[in-house]
Amino acid sequence: MKDPVCGAQVDEKSASATSSYQGQKYAFCGTDCKQKFDRNPQRYASASHGSQQQTQGTHQGERANR
């Protein structure tokens, strides 16, 4: 499973943090990514079902300058 914020591969069973949004469970590499997701879940949830390229940038989930 991919962290929806930074795109890192995360083992759902051993993830350090998880959140639920609209009935879907999301796993995160750490608390920073979870906190970013929790502040704006719609942004990351829609990206995780569409193009991951939109939100991938640095590990902290910042958008790459284009």
pLDDT in tens, 1-16: 999 999 999 998 999 8
Q: Domain limits at 13?
A: 1-57
Tens of pLDDT, residue by residue over 14-44, are 998 999 999 999 999 999 999 999 999 999 9
pTM: 0.70
Dihedral sign (CA 29, 35, 36, 41): positive
Q: How far apart are CA 49 and CA 4, in angstroms?
A: 9
Answer whether residue 64 is part of any domain: no
Q: 63 lies in a domain? A: no
d(CA 43, CA 61): 11
Angle at 26 between CA 55 and CA 7, to 5 degrees: 30
Total domains, the chain: 1
